[in-house]
Amino acid sequence: MELSSIELRYLVNEIRSRVISSSSGYYVSSINAITKSSLFLRLHHPMHEDIMLVLSTRGLWITRRMFKPVEENNSLEKIAQKEIERARLELIEQVGSERIVTLKFRHPDGKVRIIVGEFFGNGNIIICNEIMHIIGILNPIQVRHRTLSVGLRYVYPPARGVDVFNITLDQMRSLRDAAKNLDVLRWIGRNISMPKKFVEEVIKRAGVQVDKNAAQLSDDEVSKIYDTIKNIANEVSTGGKNHEPIVIILNDKPQEALPIITQEAANAAKMIKENNVKRVPSYMDAVDEVLSSEIMDIGRSSRTVELDRQIAVLEHDLEEQNKAKETVLQKAAAIRKLASELMALSYHGSNGIADVLSKHSASLVTEKGIKYIEVAGEQVKMQPSLAKASSMLFARAKEMERGNTSIEEARAKILEQIGKLRSETAAIHKKVIVKEHISREWYERYRWFITTDGLLVIGGRDASSNSALIRKHLTEHDIVFHAEVHGSPFFIIKNAANFAATQEGTIDSSLHQVAQATISFSRAWKDGLSSADAYWVMAEQVKKGAPTGQFLPKGSFVIEGKRNYIKGVELRLAIGIMQLNNRETLLCGPEEAIKKRSIFYGVLLQGGMDPMNAAKKVKSEFVRIAGDNIKIAESIKYISLDEFVRALPTGQSRLSFTVRGQQQLLQEASSSSSSSSSSVAVESGDK
C-alpha cells in the first residue's frame, strides 16, 4: 500500500488535532526502531493519554499497537534518541501537496530539531537542526537534482504537478489548452498531484469519457472535472461527510486502506459479508491496520529466517529423494518389461532377441570377457538360456524395489522434520509481537473512583504521586483530603466547589466517601486500625512551598487555615470492575461509590493475605462471577495481576464477599456496540 498526498493530508490533520492542539503539548518520552526503516515514538502528556506514533518510510500514523523491535541495524535509532527524546512536538505540516511531512520538535532548553519524512519511492527519514542542516539520514541520496547526506543542507525535491489543494479553475483551463494528444486520464495524472485511483474516480463522477482527448474538453467539462477534483480532495483530506474508510482484505491479510468508497471500490464494498472488505471507524485506523500488518509480517519473517533456511534445505533433500525414488521405480519397471518379453520369447526359441533388446533400449555388452544385458543403466549377467536371463532380470527389479524402501524411510524422516519446523514457524507467526495500546484516562495513573454524586476523586499512591497530584492537578475549585495518620495520601475531589455551589443539596456523602478512602489507603490499613480521622480543606489552603527557613519532605505540603474534620471513619473498601469508555477497568474505593458503578464488586477487609495472594483471589473470583459472559471474563483475564496489586491498599487484605452489580450494567457491558450507562464522563477541571 502506498499513501497518496491527499490521504497523507488527512493523517497530518488528524495527528495535528490530537497532538499539537493540546494545551501544554506532547513530548517524546521514548523513541525506538521497529524495523530498519521505521521508528516508534511514544508521545506523553501530563494530563492526557499517551499517543503512539509510527514514522516509517511508508508513512506516518497513530497506532493502537505497542511495537517491539523486529529488525536490527536501524542506522537512525541512536541519533533520533539523542536528538528527539524529551523534546516537545511543536508543529507538523505537509509540504504543499507533496508526500513530504515535517515535524518540528523543541527541547526545554530551546534547541529545535526537525524530522522530514519523505513517503515516495523508497521513502526516507531525515533529522535536521533548526537551519535544516542534516544531522542524521536513513537513506543518503545523490541524484541529478539533489544530494542528501549528513552535514549538507536539506533540499526538497522538485515539485511534481500542480498542488491539488490550491489549483484554480483558470489553471485547469490553461492545462487543457496546453494538452497535446493526451487522454483525460493521463492529462490529469501528469499535471495534478493526485493518484490514479482518485483520478479514475474524478473522471467517473464528472461523467467524462476516459479516452477523450484532453485538448478537446469543453469549458463546462473542465469545470466539472475541477469541481470533482476539489470535492474528492476535500472528502479524503478532511474526513468529511463522505468519509467511509474501509480495509481491503486479501488472503486473510489487510492489503489496502481507502478513506472513501470510490465507484471502483463499490463492487468490493458489496463483498463485506464475505469478509473481503472491512469497515473501520476512521482512515487512521485503516492505515494502522494495513501498515502495522506489514511491520508485523517483517517481524515474523525476521524471527523465522533460520527456520525457513532449514526448511528450504530439507525441502531440497526431499526433492532429491523423490527424484531418486522415481528413478528407481522407472528403472525397475523397464527391467520388468524386458524380462517379461524375454520370458515370452524363450517359449518360442531365441530368435528375435536382438529386436526385443532394441525395443527396450537394451543391448548386450562384453566386459572382461563376460556378457551382460544392459538396460536402464543397469547390467545383468547374461545366462545360457533366455528363461534364466529373464529370472535374473526379475530378481534385479525386485532388488531395486526393495532398496526403494530405504529411500521411502529417509523421505518420511525428512517430511517429519519439515512438519516440526513448520509447526515452530506457525507458532511464531501466531505469536503476537505487539500488544494493543489501551487508551487510558489521565487520572488512571493515580488511585481514583467516582463518588455517588458523580464527582471524580484522585489520590496519591506514594510520595512522588502525592507531589504530582497537588502540583499538576490541583485547581482552585477542588477540595483536598488528608488524614491524621502517618503515611496518609492526599485525595482531591475535582471541581467539588463548583458542583456544591450549583446543587440544592450538599455533597456530604461524597465528603464521607473520600474521607473513608483517605484513611483506608493510609498506613492505618496495614496497622489494623478499625477507624481514624480525616479532614478536608479548600485548594487555596494548600501551600506548595515550605515556610522560610524550613524544609518539606517530598510529597508533603503546608496546610493553612481551618481544617474540616470527619471523625471516626470506618476503614472499609471495595474493589470492582467498571466499564469506562467501552472497556472494563478495575477500581478500588469506598463501598458505596464502587457498588453504584460496578458490573460486580467485592468488599475488602483488613488482614488475611499479602497483596499478591489477595490480588490472585480477587481476580479469580471476578472471572468466576463473570460466569458465561465470555467478553467480560476475557477482559478481566487481560487485566494484569500487577494492576490488581496496585489497586489494593497497602498491607494484608481479604475478600469478604462479592456481589453481582445491577443487571442493567451487566447487560450493557456485554454489548460492545452500545454506550454503557456505567461509562462515566466526569468534569475534571483539568481540561
Evaluate if residue 261 carries a pLDDT over 80: no
Which pLDDT value is given to residue 24?
A: 65
CA torsion through residues 447, 450, 453, 457, sign = positive
* Burial annotation 551-589 (CB, 10 A radius, 16+ → b, else e): eeeebebeeeeeeeebeebebbbbbbbbbbeebbbbbbb
Is residue 323 scored above 50 in pLDDT?
A: yes
663 or 376, higher pLDDT: 376
CB-neighbour burial class of residue 506 (10 A; exposed 0-12, middle 13-18, buried 19+): exposed
Q: State residue 506's pLDDT score.
A: 78
Span 148-160, average pLDDT? 92
The 10 Å CB-count burial string (b at 16+, else e) for 325-344 is eeebeebbebbbbbbebbbe
Average pLDDT over every residue of 306-318: 80
Q: Which residues pair with 256 in a beta bridge?
A: 248
In whole angstroms, give the CA distance from residue 17 to residue 1. Answer: 25
> According to the per-residue pLDDT averaged within each range, which of 101-105, 281-285, 315-319, 641-645 is highest?
101-105
Contact 228, 206 (CB under 8 A): yes
CB atoms within 10 A of CB 81: 16
* pLDDT level of residue 21 (50, 70, 90 thresholds): low
Cα–Cα nearest to 172, from 191, 190, 152, 149 = 191
Specify the pLDDT at position 684: 37
Res. 42: pLDDT tops 70? yes
Residue 429: band (very low, low, confident or very high) from pLDDT cuts 50, 70, 90: low
Residue 405 has, within 13 A of its CA and on its CB side, a CA count of: 5
Q: Smallest Cα–Cα separation from 35: which of 80, 85, 73?
A: 73
What is the pLDDT averaged over residues 332-339? Answer: 90
- Phi, psi angle pair for 248, to nearest 5°: -85, 125
pTM score, two decimals? Answer: 0.61
Residue 197: pLDDT band (50, 70, 90) is confident
- Which is more confidently placed, 11 or 160? 11
Q: What is the pLDDT of residue 551?
A: 63
pLDDT score at 31: 94
Q: What is the DSSP string of 97-161?
A: TSSEEEEEEE-TTS-EEEEEEE-STT-EEEEEETT-BEEEESS-EE-SS-EE-TTSBP-PPPP-S
70 contacts 35 by C-beta, under 8 angstroms: yes
Tens digit of each residue's pLDDT (9 = 90 or more) over 351-373? 778 888 888 888 888 888 888 88
Please tell me the distance from the alpha carbon of residue 657 to that of residue 600, in angstroms, as a whole number.
Answer: 11
Q: How confident is the model at residue 90 (pLDDT cuts 50, 70, 90)?
A: very high
User: Residues near 340 by Cβ (< 8 Å), separated by ≥ 6?
Assistant: 390
**Range 557-566 average pLDDT:** 90
Name which of 19-28, 52-61, 442-451, 470-479 the model is least confident about. 19-28
Residue with cell string 517481524: 299
CB-count exposure of residue 527 (10 Å: 0-12, 13-18, 19+): middle
- DSSP for 415-452, written as a single string: HHHHHHHHHHHHHHHHS-SEEEPP---GGGGSEEEE-T
Q: Which long-range contacts (CB under 8 A, 24 or more apart) does 396-404 make?
A: 396/335, 397/332, 397/333, 397/335, 397/336, 397/339, 398/332, 400/328, 400/331, 400/332, 400/335, 401/328, 401/329, 401/332, 403/328, 404/325, 404/328, 404/329, 404/332
State the chain's mean pLDDT as an integer.
84
Paired sense of beta strands 147-148 and 100-106, if any: unpaired
Whether 249 shows a pLDDT value over 80: the answer reads yes
The pLDDT > 90 percentage for the chain reads: 38
> What pLDDT, on a 0 to 100 scale, did the predictor assign at position 431?
54
pLDDT at 39 over 50: yes
279 touches 272 (CB < 8 A):
yes
Task: Find which of 192-201, 253-262, 434-443, 511-520 is predicted with most confidence, using mean pLDDT.
Answer: 511-520
For position 84, what pLDDT does the model report?
95
Query: What integer pLDDT is reported at residue 672 of this predicted model?
Result: 41
Residue 424 and residue 287: Cα distance in Å, rounded? 30
Q: Provide mean pLDDT across the span 270-278.
A: 62
- Check residues 147 and 277 and name the one with the higher pLDDT: 147
Q: How confident is the model at residue 665 (pLDDT cuts 50, 70, 90)?
A: very low
5 within 8 A of 193, measured Cβ to Cβ: yes
Name which of 438, 458, 439, 460 is nearest 450 in CA terms: 458
- Stated as kind and residue range, the H or E segment containing 273 is none
What per-residue confidence (pLDDT) applies to 142?
92
Query: In CATH, which of 3.40.50.300, 3.40.50.720, 2.30.310.10, 3.40.50.970 is domain 5-148?
Result: 2.30.310.10
Query: What pLDDT sits at residue 439?
Result: 66
Q: What is the pLDDT of residue 405?
A: 77
Report the Cα–Cα distance between both ends of the chain, in Å, rounded. Answer: 38
pLDDT in tens, 521-559: 999 999 999 999 999 999 999 887 666 666 666 667 888
Among 57-61, 149-153, 251-255, the minimum mean pLDDT is found in 251-255
**Cβ partners under 8 Å of residue 107, min gap 6:** 86, 87, 88, 113
Over 50: is that where the pLDDT of 422 sits?
Answer: yes
Q: Which 8-state DSSP code applies to residue 547?
A: P
Residue 502 CB-density burial (10 A; 0-12 exposed, 13-18 middle, 19+ buried): exposed
The pLDDT tens digits for 486-509 are 889 999 999 888 887 776 557 899
**∠ at Cα 67 (65, 71), nearest 5°?**
150
Architecture per CATH, 166-303: Orthogonal Bundle (1.10)
Please, which pLDDT band fits residue 16 given cuts at 50, 70 and 90? very high
Predicted confidence at residue 677, as pLDDT, reads: 33
Domain ranges of the chain: 5-148, 166-303, 307-430, 442-670
Instruction: Provide the 8-state DSSP code for 684.
Output: -
Confidence of residue 658 (pLDDT cuts 50, 70, 90): confident
